[in-house]
Amino acid sequence: MPCLSAEQLGKLAIRDEDELSADLIEAQFQLREGRGSIKGKSVLILISGIELAGKGEAVQQLREWVDPRYLMVKAEVPHPLTQSQPFWQPYAGFIPAEGQMKLLFGNWYSDLLATAMHVSEPINTEQFKDYVQNMREFELDLQANHVHVVKIWFDLSWKALQKRLDKLDPSVQKWQQLHGLDWRSQKQYDTLQKLRSHFTDDWICIDGEDEERRDQQFAQVVLSALKQPLSEITPDAITGPWKKSKIPETLTQFDDEVLAEDDYKDQLKALSKKVAKAMRQDERNVVIVFEGMDAAGKGGAIKRIIKKLDPREYDIYTIGAPEKYELRRPYLWRFWTKLPKNGDITIFDRSWYGRVLVERLEGFAKPFEWKRAYDEINRFEQDLMDNQTVLIKFWLAIDKDEQEKRFKAREVTPHKRFKITDEDWRNREKWDEYLQAAADMFEHTSTDCAPWHIVATNDKNSARIAVLEHILERLKASK
Amino acid sequence: MPCLSAEQLGKLAIRDEDELSADLIEAQFQLREGRGSIKGKSVLILISGIELAGKGEAVQQLREWVDPRYLMVKAEVPHPLTQSQPFWQPYAGFIPAEGQMKLLFGNWYSDLLATAMHVSEPINTEQFKDYVQNMREFELDLQANHVHVVKIWFDLSWKALQKRLDKLDPSVQKWQQLHGLDWRSQKQYDTLQKLRSHFTDDWICIDGEDEERRDQQFAQVVLSALKQPLSEITPDAITGPWKKSKIPETLTQFDDEVLAEDDYKDQLKALSKKVAKAMRQDERNVVIVFEGMDAAGKGGAIKRIIKKLDPREYDIYTIGAPEKYELRRPYLWRFWTKLPKNGDITIFDRSWYGRVLVERLEGFAKPFEWKRAYDEINRFEQDLMDNQTVLIKFWLAIDKDEQEKRFKAREVTPHKRFKITDEDWRNREKWDEYLQAAADMFEHTSTDCAPWHIVATNDKNSARIAVLEHILERLKASK
C-alpha cells in the first residue's frame, strides 16, 4: 500500500499547538458555514491500524485542538461481512451531512479485516481485493456526492508493538480487544500487514511510534482535508455531448386489448395468492420499484401486489421531494435506511430513479450529476443483489390521451381530487422530455439481474395482471 | 378494562365499502394537508389482542380501503422490559411525524404483556399497573404534542379461539408465534385476559368473532381518529396566571475569587483523571446537560470533562434550532434518538430545556406548551433515571458585565469570531427574562435525583473545577 511516503509526511513540520488549534477551529467553522452553498461538503474520516499505535490518543489530542462539539466520533463493534447486507449498510446512519465532520473507528475496513482474520471460512485474497475495490468505488461515489472520505492507517512496527504491550497499564485494556486479535502473535501481525498491503493507495499511513509527531501528522492531515475545496475531491465529471437513447416502442404504441372484468378477477385471485406465497417462501429480500408517468396506475398495481400479504410482511414507501436534511447527504442516502432486512418486502412508489427523471428534467441535479447517476445506481443495485436481494423494476407506460382522461376523471371524483395537482399538469407539458429520460434510463440501468419491465397500463386490468406475472417470473428465475 | 361497550361499537352500522373507502382516503388526505398548520397532527395506532382474533386481517382489509401508501405498518419483535432502557426507546423511530399515520403491531404494551407472561422473574400486578400508568402518561404527553394515540384490542373468546385453532391452515402459522404463547392453555389465556383488565379505559376493544363486523368496526374507529380535531385529543391546557419563581442569588451575585493558574492545573489534572475513572467504572449511562447564558463557558467545561476519556467512550451533541422534520414531532423526540446505551456517556451542549428557555422567550412554544413542558421533562428524566442512567444538569451562571467583556474579546479573536453573532447580542437584551425563565426552570425541574447545579463562571478556572467536582460527587452519591 503506497501511503504518503515517510518523506512527504516527514515534511509536515511540528507546528505551534495554539496556532494549529486556531486553524483547525477556523476550518471547522468554514466547513459548517459552507453548508448549502456550492462549497458545501462533509468530511468522513475512517480510522484503522495496528493496536496500540495510538489511534485513540491521536483522536483525543485532535479533540483537544478542535472544537469538540463539531467533531462526531463513532466506534461501532465490527459487523462481519456475511452477504446479508452490503458493507455500507450498517454505516448509513453515520454518513455525515454537509457541514459535518465525522470520524469512524469501526468502519467497513475494520469489518473486512475482522472478517478476513476471524471467521471460520476466511475470505481469500481475491475476494479481499474485490471488497477493497468495491469499497473504493463506494467512496468515490460518496465524494461525487460531497462527502470527502479520508482514510488513515495508524501503523506500528512489530518491535514497537511488543514494547508497548510490555508496558501496558491493565486499566486501559478495555480497547485492546477491538479486533479480538492476539497481538503477541507475529504470524497474526504479519497476516494483518499483508492484508493491509492490498488497500488502495489513497490511504494515509501514520507511524505511531513517535507520539508527538503522530498526533501532529494526524491533526495536519485532518486540517488539510477540512480545507481542501470540493472541486479537488470530486471525481472527474462526465463531459461531452449526451447521446440520447432511442425511445422504445413500448412507451409510445399501445394496443387496445382489454381484459374483461370477469377474467381479470379470476386471474387476479389466483395470481395474488401465488405471488404472496412465492414472496413468503423466498428467503431473500424483495425490493419492488415503480416508476412511470402520473396516473399510470402505480397505486393500483401496488394494492394488488399486497392483496394476499399480511401487513406485517411488507413496507411501502412513497417517494416525494427530499427533505432539507436529506438534501444535505448523497441522494441515495435516504434509500439506504429504507431497505428491507431478514427477507422482508419493500415497495417503492417512485425511487432513486428520480435522480435521472424529475431531478434531471427540473434541473435539481446538474448534468454531470445525473450523467454519473446511472453508474452510481447500477453499483448500488448490484450491491443489493450481491447481498440476498431480488430487485424488480417497473415502468408503467401510459398513452398521453389516456392520461388526460384520467386527470380529468380525478378532478371530478371527490376522493381522488387530491391525486391531481397543478404540478401534474405541468409535468404533462414535459411529456416528451420524460419519455426521453425514461429511454435513457432503460438504456443505462436495465441490467441482466435487474431489468426494467415496461408495462402498458391503458387497460388497468391487464396491467395489474402483467405486474403480478413479472414478479412471479422474476422470483423463480433469479433463484 | 371498560372498552367501548358492545352497545356503542354495535351502533356502528355496516357501511357501504366504497363509501367507507372514499371517506378514509379523503381523511388521509386531510391529515396530510393539515401538516404544519394549527390542525396538524399525526395518528399512531397501537394494536394488541388475542391470537387469531384477526388483527392482521383487519389491518389488511383497512389497507385495501385506504391509500396504502399513506398507512405505515410496523411489526417489531418484542423488547422485554429490562430496565436497560425506557419502554418507549425502541419505538422512538416509529413515532409518526405530523401528517403521518402509523400502525404498530409490536408496541410497548405487547412488550409489557410479553414480559409479564414470559420472563423467569415475572413482574407482579403492582409493577404491571405502574407500567400501564407510566405508559398512559407518556401517551398523554404524545397527544399534547400532536400525536393522536389510538389503542385497539382485538378480543376473542376462549371458545372461539379454540375453534379457530382447530381450523388453522398450517401455511399461515408464521404469525402464531407472535407472543410465543401456548394458545391451547386456558390458564395462559386467563392470565393474559386478567393482565389486560388492568389496561386503562381508553382502549377500544373489538370482538374478532364476526369478521365483517370486526373489519368494519376497526376501519370506522380509524376513520373517526383521523377526523377528530386536534383540540379534542389534547389534554387540558394549564391555565391561570403564571407564578414567577424567585430568582436565586447564585444567578446574580458573584464573588471575585480567582483560582490561580498553578493550582488550577494541579487540580484539573487530578480531577479529570478521577472523573474519567469514575465514569468508566460506572456501568450506568451518564447524561450531562449544560445550559447557561451565552459565553458562560459551556464549551470549555465540556473540554475538561472529556480530557482523560477515550473519544470512543462519549458523544457530544450541540443542540441548536430544530430542523423542519424535527418540528413535525414532539419536541423531546430529537433527544430520544441521542441517548446513550450500554453505559456510554452523552454530553448535551444545550438540551430539551430549550423548550422552557429560548422557545418560551421567543414564542416558539405557546404558553400552554411551555407550562406543561416542566412536567413532561420531569417524566422524561424520571424514565431515564429509572433505567440505569445518571443525569447531571449544569447551569453555568455569568455576570452581565463579564459576558459583555467575553463577547467583545470574541469579536477580535480570529478563531473565536464565529462564536459571536448578532443573535447573541439580541439574546443579551432579554437578560432579565432569561434569568426569570432559568429561575422557573430550577423551581420546577430540580428534583432529588436530578438537581440543577448552578456554577458561577466569572472565573473560568474555578468553574471548570466545580463542574468536575459535581460530576464526581453525583456519580458517587447516586450509586
pLDDT digits (tens, 9 = 90+) for B207-231: 999 999 999 999 999 999 999 998 8
Query: Which residues of B are less than 8 Å from A316 in CB distance?
Result: 68-69, 72
Among A22, A306, A309, beta carbon nearest to B414: A22
Q: Which residues on neighbouring strands pair with residue A32, listed in sequence order?
A: none
For helices B55-65 and B211-227, angle between their N-to-C axes, nearest 10 degrees: 60
Which SS3 state, helix, strand or coil, does residue A402 take? helix
Shortest CA gap A281–chain B (Å): 10
The reply to whether A18 touches chain B by the CB within 8 Å rule is no
Nearest CA in chain B to A105: B312
The reply to whether B269 touches chain A by the CB within 8 Å rule is no
The reply to whether B158 touches chain A by the CB within 8 Å rule is no
Ranges in chain A, pLDDT < 50: 1-3, 175-176, 178
Query: Which residues of A are less than 8 Å from B318 in CB distance?
Result: 69-70
How many domains, chain A? 2
Query: Which residues of B are less than 8 Å from A64 in CB distance?
Result: 303, 307
Among A33, A105, A303, beta carbon nearest to B64: A303
Shortest CA gap B239–chain A (Å): 36
The answer on A255 and A146 residing in a single domain is no
Please tell me the distance from the alpha carbon of residue B222 to that of residue B147, in angstroms, as a whole number: 14
The pLDDT value recorded for residue B184 is 87
Do B337 and B92 form a contact (C-beta atoms < 8 A)?
yes
Which SS3 state, helix, strand or coil, does residue A290 take? strand
Please tell me the distance from the alpha carbon of residue B179 to that of residue B24, in angstroms, as a whole number: 31
Band of pLDDT at residue B279, cut at 50, 70 and 90: very high
| Average of per-residue pLDDT values in chain B | 91
The answer on A253 and A225 residing in a single domain is no
The answer on A389 and A342 residing in a single domain is yes
Residue A307 within a domain: yes
Q: Which residues on neighbouring strands pair with residue A290, listed in sequence order?
A: A349, A394
Among A299, A315, A325, beta carbon nearest to B323: A325
Among B22, B56, B323, beta carbon nearest to A310: B56
Greater confidence (B91 vs A239) lies with B91
In sequence order, what are the residues at sequence separation of 6 or more whose Cβ sits closer than 8 angstroms to the Cβ of residue B408?
A: none
Q: Hey, are the CB atoms on A306 and B63 less than 8 Å from each other? A: yes
Report the Cα A97 to chain-centroid distance in Å.
Answer: 14
Tell me whether strands A452-456 and A389-397 are parallel, antiparallel or unpaired.
Answer: parallel
Nearest CA in chain B to A171: B277
Among B22, B67, B312, beta carbon nearest to A75: B312
The reply to whether A418 touches chain B by the CB within 8 Å rule is yes
Q: Hey, are the CB atoms on A73 and B299 less than 8 Å from each other? A: no
Among B26, B72, B414, beta carbon nearest to A26: B414
From B203, B233, B263, the end of a domain falls on B233
Greater confidence (A78 vs B27) lies with B27
The answer on A255 and A222 residing in a single domain is no
Q: Hey, are the CB atoms on B22 and A69 less than 8 Å from each other? A: no
Range of the domain at A373: 249-477
The pLDDT value recorded for residue A176 is 46
Shortest CA gap B227–chain A (Å): 15
Residue B317 within a domain: yes
Statement: residue B423 has pLDDT above 90: no
Nearest CA in chain A to B314: A73
Please tell me the distance from the alpha carbon of residue B230 to that of residue B39, in angstroms, as a whole number: 6
- The cell for A277 is 406465497
Residue A208 within a domain: yes
Shortest CA gap A279–chain B (Å): 13
Shortest CA gap B235–chain A (Å): 31
Based on its alpha-carbon atoms, the radius of gyration of chain B, rounded to whole angstroms, reads 26
The answer on A304 and A185 residing in a single domain is no
CB < 8 Å from A in window 272-331 of B? 277, 280, 299, 302-303, 306-307, 309-312, 315-318, 323-325
B379-410 pLDDT tens trace? 999 999 999 999 999 999 999 999 999 999 98
Q: Cell numbers 403492582 correspond to what residue?
A: B126
Output the DSSP codes for A65-125.
HS-GGG-EEE-PPP----SSS-TTGGGGGGSPPTT-EEEESS-HHHHHHHHHHHSSS---H
ipTM here: 0.86
Q: Which of A310, A325, A348, A416 to probe the B interface (max B CBs under 10 A)?
A: A310
The pLDDT value recorded for residue A4 is 59
The reply to whether A187 touches chain B by the CB within 8 Å rule is no
The reply to whether A266 touches chain B by the CB within 8 Å rule is no
Contacts 24+ apart (CB under 8 A), B171-177: B171/A277, B174/A280, B174/A310, B175/A310, B175/A312, B175/B56, B176/B51, B176/B52
The answer on A469 and A329 residing in a single domain is yes
- The cell for A400 is 398521453
The answer on A334 and A375 residing in a single domain is yes
B409-421 pLDDT tens trace? 988 887 777 778 8
CATH number at residue A186: 3.40.50.300
Band of pLDDT at residue B298, cut at 50, 70 and 90: very high
Do B465 and B305 form a contact (C-beta atoms < 8 A)?
no
The pLDDT value recorded for residue A121 is 66
Looking at residue B35, its amino acid is: R
Query: Which residues of A are less than 8 Å from B25 in CB distance?
Result: 415-416
Shortest CA gap B400–chain A (Å): 25
From A233, A261, A295, the end of a domain falls on A233
Residue A239 within a domain: no
Shortest CA gap B73–chain A (Å): 7
Statement: residue B336 has pLDDT above 50: yes
Residue A244 within a domain: no
Please tell me the distance from the alpha carbon of residue B321 to that of residue B327, in angstroms, as a whole number: 9
Q: Which of B69, B173, B222, B344 to probe the A interface (max A CBs under 10 A)?
A: B69
Which helix or strand (DSSP H or E) is residue A285 part of? strand A285-292
State phi, psi for B17 to the nearest 5 degrees: -60, -45
Nearest CA in chain A to B59: A311
Statement: residue B146 has pLDDT above 60: yes
CA dist B309 → A59, A64, A70, A106, A179 (Å): 11, 11, 17, 18, 20
- The cell for A187 is 504470524
Please tell me the distance from the alpha carbon of residue A247 to that of residue A20, in angstroms, as a whole number: 58
In sequence order, what are the residues at sequence separation of 6 or more whose Cβ sits closer than 8 angstroms to the Cβ of residue B336?
A: B88, B89, B92, B95
The answer on B254 and B227 residing in a single domain is no
The pLDDT value recorded for residue B119 is 61
State phi, psi for B419 to the nearest 5 degrees: -80, -5
Q: Hey, are the CB atoms on B68 and A302 less than 8 Å from each other? A: yes
B121-144 pLDDT tens trace? 678 899 999 999 999 999 999 999
Which SS3 state, helix, strand or coil, does residue A35 take? coil
Please tell me the distance from the alpha carbon of residue B477 to that of residue B479, in angstroms, as a whole number: 6
CB < 8 Å from B in window 330-369 of A? 349
Q: Hey, are the CB atoms on A311 and B63 less than 8 Å from each other? A: yes
The answer on B265 and B214 residing in a single domain is no
- The cell for A457 is 397500463
Greater confidence (B181 vs A323) lies with A323
The pLDDT value recorded for residue A328 is 95
The reply to whether B18 touches chain A by the CB within 8 Å rule is no
Residue B242 within a domain: no
The answer on B403 and B358 residing in a single domain is yes
Mean pLDDT for the stretch of residues B426-431: 92
Q: Hey, are the CB atoms on A418 and B29 less than 8 Å from each other? A: yes
Query: Which residues of B are less than 8 Å from A75 in CB distance?
Result: 312
The answer on A274 and A202 residing in a single domain is no
Mean pLDDT for the stretch of residues B299-317: 92
Query: Which residues of B are less than 8 Å from A306 in CB distance?
Result: 63, 68
Residue A240 within a domain: no
* Cβ neighbours, 10 Å, residue B252: 11
Looking at residue B364, its amino acid is: F
Q: Cell numbers 407550562 correspond to what residue?
A: B371
Query: Which residues of B are less than 8 Å from A59 in CB distance?
Result: 311
H-only helix segments in B197-327: 211-227, 230-233, 261-281, 298-305, 324-327
Mean pLDDT for the stretch of residues B106-126: 85
* Cβ neighbours, 10 Å, residue B86: 24
Q: Which of A312, A324, A412 to probe the B interface (max B CBs under 10 A)?
A: A312
From B233, B263, B280, the end of a domain falls on B233
Among B312, B317, B318, beta carbon nearest to A56: B312
Report the Cα A419 to chain-centroid distance in Å.
Answer: 31
Among A26, A323, A324, beta carbon nearest to B415: A26
The answer on B264 and B190 residing in a single domain is no
Mean pLDDT for the stretch of residues B354-370: 95
Do A390 and A287 form a contact (C-beta atoms < 8 A)?
yes
Shortest CA gap B312–chain A (Å): 6
State phi, psi for B246 to the nearest 5 degrees: -70, 140
